[in-house]
Structure 1
Amino acid sequence: MIKIEEKKDGRFAFKLKSTNGKTLFKSVSFSSKEDLDKTLNNFKDLKDTRTNFFERKTNTEGKFLVELKNQNGKTIGSSGLYTSEAGMENGILNISNSLELGLQ
């Protein structure tokens, strides 16, 4: 499920939530609702290659996270932290599947 929020400063962001309500992914802020919608619509066209836009990272504490990039390589958001690489890979699948469900 995709939840769109308007921030106090008038910018927009979205959260991707699992079916049990857990936040899987938080986006960066977008200057307008149109920019946010355009980004989400671009993912509809990329559903077969979406996993190519996930950048796997490790933070300074050794925890794993994922950043999602757009077609231009710009970060549009990130996951929470995972304690294992396998957990991160499972998170990527969950994010991808939830994006697909939320964009239908």
Structure 2
Amino acid sequence: MIKIVKDKDGLYQFVLKSGNGQVLLKSIPFNSENETDSTIKDIKALKKSNGKFFERRTNTDGRFLVELKNSTGKIVGSSGLYTSEAGMENGILNITNSLE
């Protein structure tokens, strides 16, 4: 599930949630709702074309996270932290499924 929210500064962000409502990924802030919608459409198109739009990372504490990229390679969102690589891979699967 994708939800678009507007923050107190008037910036927009999309949030990807699992079926049970758990936040899987938050986007970077966007200046307009139109820019946010355009980015979501871009990412959905990448998913359909099996594009590589995830970057797997490890933070300084050794925990894992996923960064979501658009078609130009710009990072547009980040997941929460995972304690294992398997958990991260499961998170990627859940993020991918939430893009439908």
**Fold match by TM threshold 0.5:** yes
Say whether 1:99 aligns with 2:95: no
Q: How many pairs does the alignment contain?
A: 99
Match in the other structure for 2:33:
33
Seq. identity, %:
64
* Deviation readout 1:37-94 (Å, 9 max, x if unpaired): 00011123222314x1100000000000000011111110100000000110110010
Q: Is the 8 A contact 2:46 2:71 kept in 1?
A: no
The residue number in structure 1 matching 2:42 is: 42
Gaps of 5+ in 2: none
Q: In 1, are the aligned partners of 2:54 and 2:68 still within 8 Å (CA)?
A: yes
The alignment's C-alpha RMSD in Å is 1.0
The answer for the alignment partner of 2:21 in structure 1 is: 21
**If the length of structure 2 is used for normalisation, what is the TM-score?**
0.94
Note if contact 2:43-2:53 (Cα within 8 Å) is conserved in structure 1.
Answer: no
Measure how far apart 1:7 and its partner are: 1.0
Q: Which runs of 5+ in 1 are unaligned?
A: none
**Paired position in structure 2 for 1:84:** 84
- Indicate the SS of the match to 1:47: helix
Mapped partners of 2:28, 2:87: distance in 1: 23
* 3-state SS in 1 of match to 2:90: helix
Q: TM-score if structure 1 supplies the norm length?
A: 0.90
